[in-house]
Structure 1
Amino acid sequence: MTPELLFEDDHLIAAYKPEGWLVHRSDIDKYEDRILLQYLRDLVGAHLYPVHRLDKPTSGVIVFGKSGAAAAKLQAQLDSDSAVKQYLAVCRGYCPEQGIIDHPLPPVADFKHQRKRPKSDLPKQSAITLYRRIATVELPYPVDRYPSSRYSLVEVELKTGRRHQIRRHFKHLSHPLIGCPKYGKSTHNHFFAEQLHCARLLLHAYRLCLRHPETGEEMTFVAPPKGCFRSLLKQFGWRLPDSPTSPAVALAEHTQQPRN
């Protein structure tokens, strides 16, 4: 798949990033030639400024500024939690219906000189993830030690933006994401790749809500998953959330309900 332009004006663009593409060149994967920033610059014929990033195996909505000033204003929204970043993920098992994962995380050590440092030397940073389960499926296959295998489709909202935060938080929750070689479980990853023909990380940036950097107008960009992720949704009979209710709103409504 190739990237898709979702929105463009004089100040910013929003695009769909396919899985397997880097947002920009990086020494972490210096031989990868699918570079989103370069592709979009050529597509729109303008210089673009990164605002945020998506990991290489993650697909979904991403925005770029057309000037340094526009990018800085957009980035400030993302850093201050005034923007809404929502994802779709598939995890192992039936995770709780909804909740908050408030679990500090140390920085991810990507480079050799970082990995040489003892983990105790890496200070943990605040990391908060909200989620709600929106669908489940039970398959009659003994993938692990049980006679059948259960999975959940989860809507996730980030309140902080730590590296690999969603994947690390769902591992902490004991419901690792499917398709993640680092924080997932290989038996389930292999099952999805070999039996369900979906050999990718099942994490997708589904919805991004923020204000226009020049006019202040509220903007919402939505992009459903494509490829094998979309095929899985159909195969499992899972429907995407069509209401604007976010995990944060759903959680607030739940906690405000009177208790018997």
Structure 2
Amino acid sequence: MKLSRQLHVTTAISAIDFLASAVPELSKGRLKDAMSKGAVQLLGKPVKRLRRSQQMLKPGDSLALHYDADILQRQSAPAVLLFDEKAYSIWFKPAGMLSQGNEWGDHLSLLRFAEQHFTPLRQVFLLHRLDREASGLVMLAHTKQAAAALSKLIATQQITKTYQIRVKGQLSSELLQQGSICIPLDNKPSESRFTVQAYDANSDSSVVAVQLITGRKHQIRRHFAAVDHPVLGDPQYGKNNKHAAGLALQAIGLRFNCPLRRRLQTFELPAALLLEQF
């Protein structure tokens, strides 16, 4: 079942009793599950996820319910805290986990996973994203000061993010000589720099290390599909690039001069978490 409703409260009532009367298609058990997984929002400035079933609502309140039974039943491997720098932390996000939630919930998101891990000791701020199908390193901040400082580094391209991908085919000598793909995306300049690490003739595929100079949506996947070397296992871009192990794209490195610790920081994905194809 999938439904979306915007609901308006006219009398003082508990959240679960209001939802049960306003959405009779769903049992109280399903509504409580949807609330706990972030699928109910209390509209206002700011919009907040409403998780407590017994929270009292008042006349004039408005709720948004976005219920998708398929999404709420999904599961993924847990995220892993790799490096804890107190003001910020580096996590391993597994494939199948969102970086942050959306209107349909946040139970399968790194942000929510980290919030539950640190609550009530630290705040959690997402600094950058990684595609749901991809896996690898994601950095979170835990103070507003750290979030502002690190976000500035990202905005000014002072954090080197290294990715590893396996793509279909063998890259041409011309493409290798260029060492970058500069095809505009979404009418904006975009650049992906790369080096080929290996070519496997048996599978006719290449392992490529990539550094993003810009950060457009699905940039690596779109760039390599555009030059006829789609990432293996990509369900959205490219043709004849199926791969049983899923999307062959991992964020494997972060490197930057830390404005908080005033030193060069280098974080690498442990070998035990590398995809088998790498």
Equivalent residue, structure 2, for 1:131: 194
Query: Is 1:230 equivalent to 2:275 in the alignment?
Result: yes
Structure 1 runs of 4+ with >6 Å offset: none
Corresponding position: 1:219 with 2:265: yes
Q: Which residue of 1 aligns with 2:52?
A: none
Alignment of 1:93 onto 2:165: no
Alignment partners' CA distance in 1, 2:207 and 2:111: 30
| Counterpart residue number, 1:120 | none
CA distance in 2, matches of 1:226, 1:160: 29
Give yes or no for contact 1:101–1:128 (8 Å, CA) kept in 2.
yes
On the 8 A contact 1:11/1:213 being kept in 2, the answer is no
Q: Aligned to 2:183, which of 103, 110, 122?
A: 103
Report how far residue 52 of structure 1 moved: 0.6
Q: Distance in 2 between matches of 1:224 and 1:173?
A: 30
Distance in 1 (CA, whole Å) between partners of 2:158 and 2:106 is 33
In structure 2, C-alpha distance between the alignment counterparts of 1:69 and 1:35, rounded to whole Å: 23
Q: What is the aligned counterpart of 1:43 among 114, 117, 130?
A: 117
1:176 alignment partner in structure 2: 230
Pairing partner for 1:78 from 138, 146, 154: 154
1:200-255 alpha-carbon deviations (Å, 9 max, x no partner): 1111001011232312211111114767x63233xxxxxxxxxxxxxxxxxxxxxx
Q: State the match for 1:256 in structure 2.
A: none
Q: What is the alpha-carbon distance in structure 2 between the residues aligned to residue 213 and residue 3 of structure 1?
A: 26
The number of aligned residues is 196
- TM (norm. structure 1) is 0.71
State the shift of 1:171 in Å: 1.0
- TM-score in terms of structure 2 length: 0.66
Could you tell me how far apart the structure 1 residues matched to 2:194 and 2:97 are? Answer: 26
The structure whose residues are more often helix, as a share, is 1
Gap regions ≥5 residues in structure 2: 1-76
Q: Displacement, 1:32?
A: 6.4
Quick check: which one's strand share is greater? 2
CA distance in 2, matches of 1:172, 1:47: 40
Contact residue 228 and residue 238 of structure 2 kept, 8 A: no
Contact 1:89 1:156 (C-alpha < 8 Å) held by counterparts: yes
Q: Which residue of 1 aligns with 2:12?
A: none
Q: Name the stretch that deviates more: 162-171 or 33-42.
A: 33-42
Kept in 2, the 8 Å contact 1:60–1:225? The answer is no
Partner of 2:27: none
Choose the corresponding residue for 1:167, options 212, 221, 226.
Answer: 221
Q: Determine the structure 1 residue equivalent to 2:247.
A: 201
Matching residue of 2:80: 4
Deviation at 1:155, TM superposition (A): 0.1
1:34 maps to which of 83, 103, 108: 108
Between 1 and 2, higher relative CO (CA 8 Å, sep ≥ 6) is seen in 1
Structure 1 gap segments, 5+ residues each: 107-123, 140-148, 234-260
